[in-house]
Each structure stands twice: as C-alpha cells, then as structure tokens.
Chains A and B, each alone.
Chain A
C-alpha cells in the first residue's frame, strides 16, 4: 500500500470506530449533529474539499460532488449516521479500487519490465556495475551468463547463447559469436561476452520498446473516448433526474423527506467510476500482455481497429517466406554430376552479390575459389560467364543459354532456374527458390478460421507468387507489382473491404513503408533491431513469426469483449439500481454497494487481460 492508501485506511478505521460509538450513545439535541460531524469530517474532508474546488473550477458534476451532495443532504434531513456511513463506504470502495488498480497496473508494468538495472564495465582492472545510462557508445561492457544485455553493441569477444524471449516471447535460443550485433534486452545464457557498445542507452532497443509501450496508453481507443464523452453527459443528466425526483413527486403527493432521500440515493448510484477506471485498464492490460509475447501495439486505437480486421494483406518475400534463396532442386544433364554442376556454378557466381549466388555457394559448401576463377564477365539481366579450372562456365537464365546458342532443355519449377553450360555444352539446371516459413501455413489457416480474408502482394513473377500463395491457401494473389503498384493495389482492396471492418497490411518494413502507413493497420515483423520498421508500423512484431498475427487479433478481440462486458455490466447494474432507488426499494447503503461492487467486478474482469496464452 502507498502512503496515501495507508492514510485513507487509518481515516476509515478511526471514523468507523467513532461512528459505532456514537450510534450506541443516547444523544439528544445539538449533540447528535455536532458529534457526528467529527467522523464525517475525518472521513470526508478531502471529498468535500474536491467538490468545493470543482464548483470553483466550474467542473461541478463529478463523483466528489455527487457524494458531497448525497451525504450533506442526508445530514440535513437528520439521518446523521447514514450520512457518515455513506461517506465511509465510498472511501472503502475508493481505497479498494485504488489498491486493485495499483496492483494490476504494477503487474502489467512488471510484464513489460525489460529495463536493465546495471552494466558491467571494466575500470582499472576490476569490474564495476554502473547505470546503463552512463555508458556511452564505444565503451566496452561485459555480460556474464544469466545477466541481461544492457545496451546494443557488437560482440568483440566470447560466444554464447541468447534468450530473446523478453523481447520476442519466443523461447528459442539464439547463438551469438564475435563480430555479430547484439541487442539489449536479451538474456545471456551460457558464455561470458565482451561487447563494444554502439548506441547510448536512450537509443537502445530496450529504450525504444519501453517508450513505445509506455506511449501506447496515450493513444486512446474510441471506446475510451466514448467513456469520457459519456461521463460528460451522463453525470449532469443523472443530477437533473435526481432533482426532478426530489421536487416533482412531493409536489404531487407530499412526503418531501422521503423523496429527497431517494434522490440522494439516486446520486450515489450514478457514479460512472466503474467505466472510467476499467476501460483504460483493459486496454493497458491488452497492450501489456501482447508485449509479453513480442507483439508491440502502439495504442489502444490500433488494438481496437485490429479486432475489426476482416482483410489481412501480406507481403510475400521476408514475410510469408524466409527471404533467403536456397537451392531446392538440381537437374544435372546426362553425363554431368550434381556436385560438379553445383561447384562450378557457385564458383562462376562467386564474385556476384546477388542473393542467388549466396544460395549457390551455400549449397556447394562454399568452395575455395583462390586461383580457380578468372575472366568473370557479368551480363546484366542474364547471368555470368567465367573460366573455372580452365573450363568456360556460363550460368544464368534461358536468355543467356540462347545468346550462347547452347542447346538446353527447359526446366519447370517454382522459383528461379539457373541454367549452366560448360564450354558451350548444357550441363544442367539448378532450381533456386525462397522457402515458406514453417509457421506461415498455420498463420493463414488460423486467420481464415477467424473469418479473415487473406491477400498476398508481391513484386515476384506470377509463377513464383502462385506457388507460395496456393500452397498457403491465400484467397487472392497479386504478383509482379512495383512498389507504387502495391499502394494502388492496397487502395483498391481498401475500397473492397466489408463496411465497418479494417484492413491490416503485414510487411517486413524494409521497402513497404508507404503501404504500411496507407493500410488501416500496418504490421511490421522481424523488427528486432530495425528502427525503420518500429517507426513505420502501428503494430510491431519483434520476431518474424506470422503466427503472431492471428494471436494479436485474438488478444484484440478478447480485449474488446471485456470492454463491452464491462460497459454492459456497469450500465445494466446501475440502471436496475437507479430504478430500485427511485422506487425506494434500494436504500443508500445498497446504492453504495452497487456502485463499489460493480467497479470492483469491472476491475477484476479487466485484469483477465493479463493472462495471455499462445
């Protein structure tokens, strides 16, 4: 409990004790109001003060005003004990609420706590722990096994396994070796690492993520705005109704004090606190829970929009596929071996930086090329020719074969075919293709099960696009798009989407920033360490697992469901109580319980958002 909460608890206990004593004393005349005023002021001075301030600031219709009006009214009617009780119950409720909210707030914040506490730095031969904020770029830090990596940098010594789950929610460990980049927020598992810091703490990955998540509660969802607006009209309306209740029936049938009492009960029931507190809490819980599994959502508004998503548009390369080209099939011509074909083609391509050459080299086991390759000629848009071990190797597309008048046989397959000729004789073909991510299939299936239409956009040729899209079961495939076409295509899809629904675009954030920002919701994946992606998107997936998208949608729908439940619960219970109160069936104590009870139920319901399972 905070200091403030302890103080309130003390006030509640002392005021309650005094009230009980006074209730049993035979008090007469002036003694009764005077004595009851003591516990009343002990318990209610701050509420009265705030109500008074509110009136001065012309902000009269708030809960403090409602409570003050109700209790002062009760006292004026001579029910002193009741006046004190109502204030007492109200404070108990407030205390309980502030405790519960504080607790859930802290547990959400703890979920997102990836902030490192210290960095080990070597000074005068001994290791000292310093605040990560004091370390500057260029410094060398040490990270021992079991410690959090405090800052971004490059490993200069030692190799180890990293646990990236604090950032990605993924428990798969990642290997790291000297020369590689290391990201703050990961946990070092096995070996001692020496790291040269590349960015100060304020620019590190951890700071960026913390910033993003903290700022997310500033972008409010429509549901949150609705509550603010609702309270704006609701409270004055209830006050007006209470006034009518206090004046109109007694003018017709008399019994002033009964009706005024009912009007006061009315005021107590009407507090909109349950809504005001539980809805932002639900959104905050949703965003916090999502960040725990590596889904960073930049605001409640995006969480809300995501729950209405009916169209999911995917970029192909790097999003649904790995974006790495590897040899998937080798077709040696008769008389040639698979190994020679691969080795010579890889050597001929060894000076090229094209992603295809990487795939070739990998498949051939990265052969040593010193002195074996000469006279490399690159023919743009076709391929290369080079002398490898004295043999003229040509590797490239069908056009290259035709240009060299090689008698080749056509190879069909999904991906890019590299045709190879040795000294003008066709030696075979190598099929190179991008690989679909293991989780893409499940992701698309899960999205379809949720009733989301899936679309794929790619700059790749039609055959390659269809190979991937049809295998995954995408609803629509658009291929051979230039970056500008992608935006136009998205505009068209935006026009076609069902009314009231939203469209999400998923990309890797590298060259699709315009599309990311044009979509209702831009989702960037594989963002660990990529500032551009974090900037451009509304939702950021720390790893590159497409299955996080259906998960994010599930989280968003759960969040919105809880919000709706709370709105219905709060308004439902309140309207029943308002009617009972107006009819005189529910008294003031019942009114307080209705108010506080609903609020606590709503807060507990909101706290369910913290539990997110894969």
Chain B
C-alpha cells in the first residue's frame, strides 16, 4: 500500500537524492518525492511501515541533515 508523508527539504537536488536513497531501503517497493508539494509517497507492505520509516528517515538525514519527514 501507499502512504503519504509531509516532508521538509529546501533543495530540489537533495530531494532527488533522498528519493534515490529511500528507494534502496529494504522492504520499500517504491518511493516518490515531490519537492514542490513537499510530499513523500512510500509504497511498501502495510505491516512494514513502522520499521521502514525510521530507516528511510535515517537514509535521508545522511544525505541532507536539514531534512525532515513528519511520520
């Protein structure tokens, strides 16, 4: 299933890189980040979200320490 999260990131390039990084997190089938609407859509098994999201957050923070994902 898909879940939408509000994010905060202030450079378009970083958003693109965060998307790449988040896609590589195990258990994630797809991620799309819209820099413009400051949204992130994650596709994964419903039961996995609780353990996947902190990993995505960590992966994104590694790229852009100033970013925020509102879980």
Contacts and interface: CB of A to CB of B under 8 A. Distances in A.
Given A214-B34, A217-B37, A218-B32, A98 B10 contact: yes
A273 B16 CA distance: 12
Interface stretch (A49-57, A447-455, A468-476): A49-57
B42 to A, nearest CB: 12
B26 interface: no
A378 interface: no
A101 B35 CA distance: 10
Contacts of B34: 214-215, 217-218
A273 B10 contact: no
Given A53-B63, A273-B13, A281 B41 contact: no
Contact of B13 (A4, A63, A105): A63
Contacts of A215: 34, 41
Interface in A164-183: none
B12 A49 contact: no
Given A102-B10, A228-B16, A280 B36 contact: yes
B65 A49 contact: yes
A57 B65 CA distance: 13
Interface in A223-282: 228, 231, 273, 276-277, 280-281
Contact of B36 (A4, A59, A98, A105): A105
A62 B36 contact: no
Nearest to B41: A218
Contacts of B11: 94, 98, 277
A325 interface: no
A276 B32 contact: no
A277 B12 contact: yes
Interface string B15-30: 0110000000000000
A214 B38 CA distance: 9
Nearest to A104: B36
A108 interface: yes
A217 B36 contact: yes
Contacts of A217: 34-37
A49 B63 CA distance: 10
Nearest to A109: B37
Nearest to B17: A59
Nearest to B16: A228
Which of A53, A62, A218 has the most C-beta atoms of chain B within 10 angstroms of its own C-beta? A218
A101 B12 CA distance: 10
A602 to B, nearest CB: 12
A422 interface: no
Contacts of B64: 50
Contacts of A284: 36-37
Interface of B: 10-13, 16-17, 32-39, 41, 62-66
18 contacts: A4-B10, A46-B66, A50-B64, A50-B65, A53-B63, A53-B65, A98-B10, A102-B10, A105-B36, A214-B34, A214-B37, A215-B41, A217-B35, A217-B37, A218-B33, A218-B41, A231-B13, A280-B35
Q: Which 10 A-B pairs have the closest CB atoms?
A: A284-B36, A217-B34, A218-B32, A214-B37, A217-B36, A277-B12, A276-B13, A98-B10, A218-B34, A276-B12
